[in-house]
Amino acid sequence: MRGGWAPAWRTLLAVGVGVAAEALAGWLLRRRREGSALREALFFPSRATCVEALLAEEGGGPSPGPCDCPLPHQESPLSRLLAHLLAARRSLDLCVFAFSNPQLRRALLLLHRRRVHIRVVTDADYMALRGSQIGILRKAGIQVRHDQETGYMHNKFVIIDKKVLITGSLNWTTQAIQNNRENVIIIDDKKIVDVFLAEFEKIWEDFDPTNYTFFTN
Amino acid sequence: MRGGWAPAWRTLLAVGVGVAAEALAGWLLRRRREGSALREALFFPSRATCVEALLAEEGGGPSPGPCDCPLPHQESPLSRLLAHLLAARRSLDLCVFAFSNPQLRRALLLLHRRRVHIRVVTDADYMALRGSQIGILRKAGIQVRHDQETGYMHNKFVIIDKKVLITGSLNWTTQAIQNNRENVIIIDDKKIVDVFLAEFEKIWEDFDPTNYTFFTN
């Protein structure tokens, strides 16, 4: 009978197409998830490599052309870290215990010039040590707050554009980058990023300078 | 005409069912993903809480009943961390710079008695300091290796049963747990866990004691 299928066959066709579509959708979703979710790990120590190409805009003038320094011109854990930081477009929220590495300071100054909103929380004891880059950041107009607690502000995490979290054991020191065994993970999982954002805001408020006590003796 | 649909209608029905099934499958997949993936963040300092219930099996005898110590008997970042560690069934691979906290040492000894295979990598300088728990682990028969490098073994990460990663800024010290601003994340993302496992194996081999140099002067 032309054009006339039994109801059972119509149901089977619909179910078959549905099952196939479900399988396809599942595969596509898993594939999209695998492909797009940011989940990267960096391990240190990192051999010193040239990162001038990444920081080339720094001077504000035209690109200075290929760098002829003797360091290897290749990717390294430090260059990956810098690349993630320099991808910031709107905001960079940083908690870091020790900050003495000049390349990472240059990256923050570059972002500051690009009008990325930067907030830095650091440890009061460490920031006073020789080699700390915190003073340079402050002089450039970047907001910095520090603890006034008996414990250390020992976190080392960054949130980029409120969407990407970088955390781990790595302080922002050349010693740590070039000599220590360290790890950093970079993820954009919304659930994790959001709780770190909330923690950053909490620490930022806890360390509001209007609450600082200035000891006079 | 009973039982006779035009081909266009049959196609539309199939497409409609397919689209609905795809939407449903996507929703279910996202929901399953949200529900099952382990993505937890712990922030310190943690107020001191009683963790005796978690470590109750430690003596090997019957449970000693409710603890009547004066500490609060409630969940805390430390109790969450202990619970994740004590969930280990087969293996626990730990890299930690400083380890002086007695509760965490007790957790490792408890797992060791449960025949969980434990490997510990630590920093040579720190492990010799007063309060270090490394000697107690070694005496109990837990394998420990340490660096012999100019840099520090500054990692603080654990891999549980080769499936769950715990990493962050937290050293395993009471100072860090109770006084410092610290973060720890706990995730079971296979891609991240696998690269940390590979890094652990690399460090474990790098610090093979047959390569240790014993200075005699």
Q: What is the pTM of this model?
A: 0.83
Interchain CB contact of B180 with A (< 8 Å): yes
Which residue in B123, B146, B147, B156 is the catalytic one? Answer: B156
Residue numbers in A near B157 (CB within 8 A): 169, 183
Mean pLDDT of B7-17: 79
Whether residues B169 and A154 touch (CB distance < 8 A) is answered with: yes
For residue A200, the model assigns a pLDDT of: 98
For residue B217, the model assigns a pLDDT of: 43
Whether residues B39 and A191 touch (CB distance < 8 A) is answered with: yes
Whether residues A152 and B95 touch (CB distance < 8 A) is answered with: no
Residue for token pair 């939407």: B23
How does residue A13 score in pLDDT terms, banded at 50, 70 and 90?
Answer: confident
A161 carries an active-site annotation: yes
A156 carries an active-site annotation: yes
Pairwise CA distance, residues A4 & B5, whole Å:
6
For residue A2, the model assigns a pLDDT of: 54
pLDDT at A123 exceeding the cut of 90: yes
Residue for token pair 């409120």: A162
Put the strands of the sheet holding A156-160 in their side by side order: A39-44, A182-187, A164-168, A156-160, A91-96, A117-122, A143-146
How does residue B108 score in pLDDT terms, banded at 50, 70 and 90?
Answer: very high
For residue A21, the model assigns a pLDDT of: 77
Average pLDDT, chain A: 89
Put the strands of the sheet holding B117-122 in their side by side order: B39-44, B182-187, B164-168, B156-160, B91-96, B117-122, B143-146
Residue for token pair 């479900």: A22
Listed range (A92-106, A128-142, B34-48) with the worst mean pLDDT: B34-48
Residue numbers in A near B184 (CB within 8 A): none
In B, minimum Cα distance to A121 occurs at B181
Residue numbers in B near A21 (CB within 8 A): 17-19, 21-22, 25
Interchain CB contact of A2 with B (< 8 Å): yes
pLDDT at A147 exceeding the cut of 50: yes
- Residue with the bigger pLDDT between A23 and A71: it is A71
B156 carries an active-site annotation: yes
Contacts 24+ apart (CB under 8 A), B108-114: B108/B137, B108/B142, B109/B58, B109/B136, B109/B137, B109/B140, B109/B142, B110/B55, B110/B57, B110/B58, B110/B86, B111/B85, B111/B86, B112/B140, B112/B141, B112/B142, B113/B60
Pairwise CA distance, residues B145 & B93, whole Å:
11
- The pLDDT tens digits of the residues spanning A38-67 come to 999 999 999 899 999 999 876 555 566 778
For residue A186, the model assigns a pLDDT of: 98
pLDDT at A74 exceeding the cut of 80: yes
Listed range (A82-91, B18-27, B165-174) with the worst mean pLDDT: B18-27
pLDDT at A10 exceeding the cut of 90: no
Interface subset of A 45-84, CB within 8 angstroms of B: 45
Which residues neighbour B92 within 8 Å (Cβ) at sequence distance 6 or greater? Answer: B85, B108, B111, B116, B117, B118, B119, B158, B159, B160, B161
pLDDT at A31 exceeding the cut of 80: no
What values do phi and psi take at A67, rounded to 5?
A: -80, 135
- The pLDDT tens digits of the residues spanning B154-213 come to 999 999 999 999 999 999 999 999 999 999 999 999 999 999 999 999 999 999 998 777
* Proportion of chain A above pLDDT 70, given as a percent: 88
Residue for token pair 């710079």: B97
Q: Which domains does chain A have, with CATH numbers?
A: 2-56+71-210 (3.30.870.10)
Dihedral sign of CA atoms A108, A112, A115, A116 in order: positive
pLDDT at B2 exceeding the cut of 90: no
Interchain CB contact of B36 with A (< 8 Å): no
For residue B15, the model assigns a pLDDT of: 80
- Residue with the bigger pLDDT between A126 and A91: it is A91
For residue A217, the model assigns a pLDDT of: 43
DSSP assignments along A32-78, one per residue: HHHHHS-EEEEEE-------TTTTGGGGSSS---S---SS--S--HH
How does residue B21 score in pLDDT terms, banded at 50, 70 and 90?
Answer: confident
- The pLDDT tens digits of the residues spanning B65-100 come to 778 899 999 999 999 999 999 999 999 999 999 999
| Coil/strand/helix, residue A195 | helix
- Residue with the bigger pLDDT between B44 and A127: it is B44
- The pLDDT tens digits of the residues spanning B39-71 come to 999 999 998 999 999 998 765 555 667 788 999
How does residue B33 score in pLDDT terms, banded at 50, 70 and 90?
Answer: low
Which residue in A161, A188, A194, A206 is the catalytic one? Answer: A161
